[in-house]
Structure 1
Amino acid sequence: MGSLDGKVAFITGVARGQGRSHAVRLAEEGAAIIGIDICADIASNGYPMASRAELDETVALVEAAGGKMLATVADVRDFAALRSALDSGVEQFGRLDIVCANAGIAAMAFRELTIEEDLQMWTDVVDVNLVGSFHTAKAAIPHLIAGERGGSIVFTSSTAGLKGFGGMQGGGLGYAASKHGIVGLMRTLSNALAPHSIRVNTVHPTAVNTMMAVNPAMTAFLENYPGGGPHLQNPMPVGLLEPGDISSAILYLVSDSAKYVTGVAFPVDAGFCNKL
């Protein structure tokens, strides 16, 4: 028996990286998965987004783990599309218990930007990361309340949601602002939803071995960040965490082992935030 047998989880940004890892891990524990991903590039973002083929691969991995998954191409910035995908999943699986608002981008550049480019980076990052998280919660909360079984929402924030770094460009500022904003969203919803036994938390990874962290634009940004080098290194002897390291924290937060854990900003950061 798995710790999530009979439960249903909604995960955004599920086609690869942390989202895929979360889907497979929760499926291994018995959860059915409703997942969405944009499967299209965002022009201001400095690295390619996931593809439909990668989304299909996530479905195959979930099924290989013994789970079931309904996957839909949808952009978290499009509330109607997101809600439609979620509603279809709840109709198919009959319930909703877990929400992982994971979709996010980090639009970094190490070059001179036009003001239009700078503003567009800010807008896209905030819209995907923060507005997308709000959309995810807004669509999911009615299902969680209607189920009368409680539930768990976990927002993916970042160490940049607890500490002030990201540079001066719109992408980096938007990333830090959006990840901080997610914490405010979490804390407010954790109070509002507590009477329904719906728990709300954030997880704050340090750098994770995914496309967001290892693409050339991010590498150039980090190499040239003021005060970089040791300043941006984890105290524990690890450069990058693996997606599964974050999935382990997600599994704890959504499980009955954390049934009274709510309103918590949960770092999985090898000591990064404690150092700064």
Structure 2
Amino acid sequence: MPIHYDITHTTVYRYRKPVRFGLHRVMFRPRESHDLRVLATDLQVSPDANIRMIQDPHSNSVALVQPIGEATELRIVCRFTIEREPGSVDQLALDPSAEVLPFAYSVQDRIDLEHYLRPHHDDPEGRLIRWAHQFLYADETNGTREVLARMNAFIGQNLSYAARDEEGTQTPLQTLELGSGSCRDYALLMMEAARRLGVATRFVTGYLYDAALELGGETTGDAVTGAGTTHAWLHAYLPGAGWVAYDPTNNLTGSGELIRVAVARDPSLAAPISGTWYGDAEAYEGLDASVVVRRLRG
């Protein structure tokens, strides 16, 4: 039976004096597929704005928001009701040719996956590839799922999570050097490491459902990391199963709690919101952002 969720995503930019706003790209709408349908949407912007909906090259839904006039606050509130089919592709059998690393994609798959297979960040001294090779065992068969599962678990268990509000993502080498990062940094680290093992990966941004936050907004158990704001993870393309979700922040695989919004070959192409404003350089006061994901009962 399908599961229904209500999602409210609120972003508020505040300024000490009135400013003018340039065009803002908003990527808040969940990404529909055979397992997820968007049943209702509502986008409210203050001050008034001209809004256009488009799709980017990855078929992500993008709202182009052009606020009108000057204001001391830009508020963007998106509400969605979605229907999610239970089940997880992490249980689907892989194509026999892809069960063990290293494996080769078909010629047709390689053409389509080229940008997801090629590393996007430099590793001049080979540190990242050496880091990736620690998950390959020399004395036993390296099952594809098992290697990715070991990497997924290792990141969250051995690095220190550090939330960041500012835009941008650390490079994989920076994350290894610091020994810490945000969900975006964790996802990019695993993406680039898996690519060096011959696995196609892509960046995913979206929302995370946490049942521990259901009772009046208070934690009722062990909360997962990343709920209450936008979250990031990755997909790995495994022949036979398709795009499989890995969340190294919470050591989740193919989890139904992950609600995707946008996918891209690199995090820089999937920012939830971006835009410009014009005015006194000292006018900017701050940003407040929140996400509430509520499962509907009955």
TM-score (norm 2): 0.26
Considering only CA atoms, is the larger Rg found in Structure 1 or Structure 2?
2
Structure with more of its chain in helix, by fraction: 1
Structure with more of its chain in strand, by fraction: 2
